[in-house]
Amino acid sequence: MSRIRAAVVGGGIIGLAVGRELLSNLPGAEVILFEKESSLASHQTGHNSGVVHAGLYYEPGSLKARLCRRGVGLLESFAADKGVTFEKCGKIVVAQKSEELDRLKAIHQRAHTNGVPDLRMIDADQILDIEPHARGLAALHSPHTAIVDYAGIAEALASDIENSGGTVRLNREVTTIESRARQVSITTSDGVDNFDLVITCAGLHSDRVARGAGDSTFPKIVPFFGDYFLLAPEKASLVKGLIYPVPDPKYPFLGVHLTKRFDGAIMLGPNAFLSLGREAYGRWEYSVRDVADSIGFGGFWRFAMQNLPAAARESRTVLSTKSFVEEARKYVPEIAPSDVHRGPRGIRAQAMNSDGSLEDDFVISGTDRLLHVRNAPSPGATSSLAIAEYIVREALDRARLT
């Protein structure tokens, strides 16, 4: 029997986890991972907040809920094994208004159903015991919510791939993918190569990669940027862990919150606004193709019209540092605009359906030998090792490979 050949497209945390999982399930197989950039984790993995989500918000029974809880345990063990920074700094979800209290209690119940450990509702005085500079009527405390160095996790996954006989090829953009009788051909700058199984994990370009390989048009990726500000080092003691707002169902995005980073820095943000490019990390960067792709999509305009109050709120934080900081000051009043400086920008691969609705859960599509990860929103990084288990099991079943 000939040696099984498998390929992964995408060098973010999910693609790397899938490559590692393939090698674990297919001893002796040849596994090649293609990444178009010169380094790994160049996009969403390397531009996120570093939070390891405990599973508070997700619909019980959903893929998000199941894979998040499984992923947390796998990620913590992997980080410990590889010596990657992982800290259970804890998180409080803070209610500022009485109308938020019922929503907070509903989150508590949902998180309990999802199996999140050691949760407790706390009052205003107890908030001060955990976050001495925070203010609120009440909060939900999740002591096991953590932070991690996701770029470090990505590098460790790549090392595992190579140590297990796999190959990571940087600067190799996949230009075409074509399914044949019993193989899938991939074209890169190296030429055409054939594989028994291909899994694409293309993040910000997942829709284009999938569509180019013959998959459906939707869900479509609409990029939203999120800016962060960094708290001055001398003010870092104002925040001990993670301070989050209670999600408002009127808004599609969470809003500004405060996050301790694995290196000790404190981040404020992110906001959320339509990005002028899928990789436009600079404030004045843009892509004509990406802008045309977003504004020419009817679903985006349907989404925008349904969310005008959210757009107004987010635009204020984009245009004004003071407005941005005011959102954070609702939770930690001692922070002043002079205490912050502009930090990194992340870009979210927001999957959107033709009617303008947001795709909330993980989405996987494809055929028997070609699978596409079409949507892996937060907690995608947290769940990455569990997502890889799920995808690889599905892929091997479809392709009837062992």
pTM of the predicted model, to two decimals?
A: 0.96
Say what percent of the chain tops pLDDT 70: 100
Which 3 state secondary structure label does DSSP give 302?
helix
pLDDT category at 389 given cuts 50, 70, 90 is: very high
Confidence of residue 264 (pLDDT cuts 50, 70, 90): very high
Q: Report the C-alpha gap between 175 and 172 in whole angstroms.
A: 9
Could you read off the pLDDT of 215-225 as tens digits, one per residue? 999 999 999 99
- pLDDT tens for 12-65 read 999 999 999 999 999 999 999 999 999 999 999 999 999 999 999 999 999 999
CB 185 within 8 Å of CB 212: no
For 385, the enclosing helix (H) or strand (E) is helix 384-399
Peptide bond into 219 cis (omega under 30): yes
**Beta-carbon contacts of residue 349 (< 8 Å; ≥ 6 apart):** 44, 203, 204, 206, 221, 223, 278, 375, 376, 377
Summarised one tens digit per residue, pLDDT across range 301-360 is: 999 999 999 999 999 999 999 999 999 999 999 999 999 999 999 999 999 999 999 998
Give per-residue pLDDT as tens, 317-329: 999 999 999 999 9
**Where does the pLDDT of residue 1 fall: very low under 50, low under 70, confident under 90, or very high at 90 and above?**
low
Q: Which residues, listed in sequence order, are joined to residue 197 by a DSSP beta bridge?
A: 6
Domains and CATH numbers, the chain: 5-46+151-219+360-399 (3.50.50.60), 87-146+221-352 (3.30.9.10)
Three-state SS for 201? coil
* pLDDT band at residue 249 using 50, 70 and 90 as cut-offs: confident
Alpha-carbon gap, residue 264 to 218, rounded angstroms:
39
Contact between residue 41 and residue 145 where contact means Cβ atoms under 8 Å apart: no
